[in-house]
Amino acid sequence: MGLLSRRATCNTHGQDSSYFLGWQEYKKNPYNEVNNPNGIIQMGLAENQLCLDLLEPWLMKNPDALGLKRDGISIFKELALFQDYNGFPAFKRALVDFMGEIRGNKVSFDPNHVVLTAGATSANETLMFCLADQGDAFLLPTPYYPGFDRDLRWRTGVEIVPIHCTSSNGFKVTLPAIEQAYRQAQKRKLRVKGVLITNPSNPLGTTMARDELYLLINFIEDKQIHLISDEIYAGTVFTSPSFVSVMEVLKDRNLDQTQVWERVHIVYSLSKDLGLPGFRVGAIYSNDPVVVSAAIKMSSFGLVSSQTQYLLSAMLFDKKFTKEYMSENHKRLQKQQKDLVSGLEKAGIRCLDSNAGLFCWVDMRHLLKSNTFEAEMELWQKIVYHVKINISPGSSCHCIEPGWFRVCFANMLESTLKLAIQRLKSFVSSIAMKSQSHQELKSLRRKARNNWVSRLSLQSFYDREQDTTTEVSFSYRPHFMSLSNIAATLDAAA
């Protein structure tokens, strides 16, 4: 092992998290309606498969984009040869136009401020390399995406300090929570370089309110640190309140062309909004030219292929298609989410009110044996191994309240979702039946003890009467056991 690097042998990747362990169990026994109907249903994967049927017809109607042709003439050689690290100008223009559209065109983006990366994972890590050194820290509101422990820390050496949010206000970010996290970092002698948020939130499925964004902007302005807004779910907002980008807030505050303007950075990708995680298309948007320059140099380690850029340029420039796609995507996401929420409610399980994303933040605290993370893990294991559903426990998202779970709904057919809900309902019913049986047994034990006390009183009265001259006749005198013997007998029966 001495011949390997510390990075190769360290355990800071987070692969041993229950978030990743659930995936491993699913891979061993994946559900298939025909070939493995009793397998594990994957509800731990935030993937949007609801509108793939809309993408394939577009490809059939636009064979040049797929066949690497321009006006019917092959451009294979042009795409196959070496590309500039900056990416194709046409694709970057198409991407920023799409980013503006899904934000209601309330803000616009400059393609010269875009750095293309191989997915949002690469974008977030690249920003860490640009903004922080090993041992520096970023503050993250909890609960947060479990993969951040890998993406932000593993290779960069940057520390994560949680901003602890609670269910008391729907897990919203508050100033006391931010200040507490900042003080905690100082106690650990960490230099705080910034705050990273996901908006819409993964795993909450909620959009940040404007006042929360104002709060964050004020905080980073006061501390002179950075803010990264991971907005990869911006196009998944399917009901009110609408999505507010951090760029919109900066404009509202007239902070453009200021130092704060240059310390706010956005991460985006097409993995969630278009359902194309396999295409590995991510982007950094920054108003700091130094950050853009550094990130472009680093992007050589994770470029987006020329073929992918060419194909998606054609798709994103088709405004009619993208508008229809996003409209239908919102409808399907809303229906699937509604089906999950209503199905769980019928099983006695509540969800946090949400309006975006590919998942729900599900409250199963009432199913825990105790208010501990050990009880949460015990419940999670039962759901994975016995109910055969993979979901992500809140502890993997660094939630400080045991009993919350992230449950994904957009990576499956409607029929699979119904089956998953039915499995959970049956599981909750079995718990209720066991609880009812336990309560009935406790009631029987109480009745037996009360009956024993009554008989003991009767015996005492009988004994007293035998010592008097009053003639009292009893047709029945029960045999009495000692209190300790009765209690032992009842405990044994239980």
CA–CA gap between residue 388 and residue 81 (Å, rounded)? 47
Report whether 199 contacts 229 (CB < 8 A).
yes
Residue 143 Rama label (left phi>0; alpha psi -120 to 50; beta):
beta
272: number of Cβ within 10 Å? 25
DSSP 67: T
Burial of 312 (0-12, 13-18, 19+ CB in 10 A): buried
Phi first, then psi, for residue 198 (nearest 5°) are -115, 125
Phi first, then psi, for residue 229 (nearest 5°) are -110, 105
- Nearest Cα to Cα of residue 227 among 144, 141, 302: 141
283 SS3 class:
strand
Query: What residues act catalytically?
Result: 145, 230, 232, 272
Report whether 480 contacts 459 (CB < 8 A).
yes
CA–CA gap between residue 282 and residue 123 (Å, rounded)? 6
- Nearest Cα to Cα of residue 107 among 206, 213, 202: 213
Q: Which residue carries 């909750």 as its tokens?
A: 428
Start-end of H helices in 299-393: 306-317, 319-346, 373-385
Cα-Cα end-to-end distance for the chain: 54
CA–CA gap between residue 315 and residue 355 (Å, rounded)? 27
* E strand map for 357-403: 359-363, 389-390, 392-393
For 463-476, give the DSSP string: HHHHTSSS----S-
CA–CA gap between residue 40 and residue 383 (Å, rounded)? 10
CA–CA gap between residue 230 and residue 218 (Å, rounded)? 18
Report whether 194 contacts 220 (CB < 8 A).
yes
Q: Which two tokens stand for residue 53?
A: 């049927």
* E strand map for 18-111: 41-42, 69-70, 73-74
